[in-house]
Amino acid sequence: MPAARERIAILTLQRLGDVLTAARVSHGLAARKDTARVEVIHWDATTQAAALLPGVTARHALPFAALRRRSRAHAIAALHSLRRNLDAFVGRGFDTVVNLSSTRFACWLAPALATPDGRVLGPSIDGLGRYCASHPAITYLNDWGVDPELSVFTHQDLYALAAGVRLGGYNGLRETDGRRTGPVVVHVLGSERPKDWRTLHDWRQLVGRLTAELGRPCVLVGGPADTVMLEEIARGSSATVATWPLAGCIDLLAEATGLVSVDTVAIHAAAQVACPTVVLRQGPARGNAFIAGPHALCLDADPEPATVDDVVTLATRHFGGNAISAKSAAAIGSRVRVRMGVKDDHGMLGLCTPSWLPAGEQARHDDESDARWRAVWRDAMNGRMPAHEQLAELADGQGRDDRRRWETLLADPGELGGFARTGAITRRKAA
């Protein structure tokens, strides 16, 4: 008898950009021979992103604002409303529920969507209210992945590992021919105020300088509510404003010379079409957790946000190949942490100082540290403990985050933490 084919739900109750990162998971699950249907459950505010996910048979939007209004009246009212929404499509339940959200609500909802003998991949909360991680990658995400100084993995990679999806072999939402003759796209506003970069005056200067240096017009993108502010930035320049639906922005990014953006949906859309991107990161948008892809040049405010000159210099290099002098590189490095998205041999995203930017000794130590920690944790998630020489390298690392990572590992209750404690005791005895 042939094996029964699975009805799979992907639960992605997050923001627009996070929903877009589910594309690799939906693509991978839909390609399996034992998959009958892939259905996506998302908030109604992210309908545009959910519509772009490949391999999806059906999409189900939950009314976020309506449920919040009902919860203010009474918690039971919100639950009754949610029950009606779910009854419309859940039926007997899903054979597999893939949860790509770590909120308490999503973790509670995931097992409620499964059949009695179904499985949940990703984080969940069981009937006794206990947090459950279906894979070591989810345990790592919960314990380490929320801290930008500790984490060495992107969230999208950790969720994909838990879903059992191959990290390689996915080429984005569409094929691109590599020729980029379109405008420079600029996305100004992030989803949170702490992510925003400098002032409107700085943006206006940046747009004018990018147009002059690259010889390409700029297009300012955002939501309809951003129109007045974007027009103010574009005033007096050749820049245009586009508050298009997300699908239209992806069409634009597929041809664009490059994207300059704060950490928001635009960087994830650009990653889906291999568009070179300069990401202005500050506030919570730091570290390895939210790398959009290998075409992203990440500028972390460390200790301060990049200047207009910094962004222009790095964008003209990243988009046009212009050389950077050692003096300019040193000046930028004193204000901003500049790293490029990379994929290792296992298909996992990381950050590394670009080869064309002269790197100081500390930057080299940081890059080596991230790679070592990623290798050790990756092996541990696959049930292989590291050699004691590898642990010694972690303990003696000279990266800026090594000491805190090592101290956190020694207190970690998991298998790798216990193994590290044993190694630390052995080293002390030998000394």
Residue 191 lies in a domain: yes
Residue 327 lies in a domain: yes
Indicate whether 330 and 192 sit together in one domain: yes
pLDDT tens column, 332-348: 988 899 999 999 989 99
Whether residue 219 is predicted with pLDDT greater than 60 in this model: the reply is yes
Per-residue pLDDT, averaged over 197-226, amounts to 95
Residue 279 lies in a domain: yes
What is the rounded CA–CA span in Å between residue 312 and residue 326?
16
pLDDT at position 425: 61
Band of residue 1 on the pLDDT scale cut at 50, 70, 90: very low
Indicate whether 214 and 125 sit together in one domain: no
pLDDT at position 3: 60
Indicate whether 154 and 233 sit together in one domain: no
Q: Could you list the residue range(s) of the whole structural domain that residue 398 is in?
A: 371-430
Residue finishing a domain among 338, 359, 380: 359
pLDDT tens column, 11-36: 999 999 999 999 999 999 999 999 99
pLDDT at position 195: 86
Indicate whether 317 and 251 sit together in one domain: yes
Q: Which residue has the higher pLDDT, 2 or 290?
A: 290
Per-residue pLDDT, averaged over 82-103, amounts to 96
CATH number of the domain enclosing 329: 3.40.50.2000
pLDDT tens column, 36-59: 999 999 999 999 999 999 999 999
Band of residue 316 on the pLDDT scale cut at 50, 70, 90: very high
Residue 179 lies in a domain: no
Indicate whether 223 and 132 sit together in one domain: no
Residue finishing a domain among 359, 383, 414: 359
Residue 317 lies in a domain: yes
HEC assignment per residue over the chain: CCCCCEEEEEEECCCHHHHHCCHHHHHHHHCCCCEEEEEEEEEHHHHHHHCCCCCCCEEEEECHHHHHHHHHHCHHHHHHHHHHHHHCCCCCCEEEEEECCCCHHHHHHHHHCEEEEEEEECEEECCCCCEEECCHHHHHHHHCCCCCCCCCCCHHHHHHHHHCCCCCCCCCCCCCCCCCCCCEEEECCCCCHHHCCCCHHHHHHHHHHHHHHHCCCEEEECCHHHHHHHHHHHCCCCCEEECCCHHHHHHHHHHCCEEEEECCHHHHHHHCCCCCEEEEECCCCCCCCCCCCCCEEEEEECCCCCCHHHHHHHHHHHHHCCCCCHHHHHHHHHHEEEEEEEECCCCCEEEECCCCCCCCHHHHHHHHHHHHHHHHHHHHHCCCCCCHHHHHHHHCCCCCCHHHHHHHHHCCCCHHHHHHHHHHHHHHHHC
Indicate whether 119 and 226 sit together in one domain: no
Q: Which residue has the higher pLDDT, 252 or 431?
A: 252
Whether residue 302 is predicted with pLDDT greater than 90 in this model: the reply is no
Band of residue 330 on the pLDDT scale cut at 50, 70, 90: confident
Indicate whether 350 and 380 sit together in one domain: no
Indicate whether 270 and 415 sit together in one domain: no
Residue 176 lies in a domain: no
Per-residue pLDDT, averaged over 177-186, amounts to 88
Per-residue pLDDT, averaged over 194-207, amounts to 92
Per-residue pLDDT, averaged over 285-304, amounts to 92
Answer whether 0.85 is exceeded by the pTM: yes
Residue finishing a domain among 324, 359, 394: 359
% of residues, the chain, pLDDT over 90? 80
Indicate whether 194 and 335 sit together in one domain: yes
Indicate whether 309 and 248 sit together in one domain: yes
pLDDT tens column, 373-431: 999 999 999 999 999 899 999 999 999 999 999 999 999 999 999 999 987 666 655 54
Indicate whether 237 and 380 sit together in one domain: no
Indicate whether 79 and 130 sit together in one domain: yes
Domain count, the chain: 3
Residue 178 lies in a domain: no
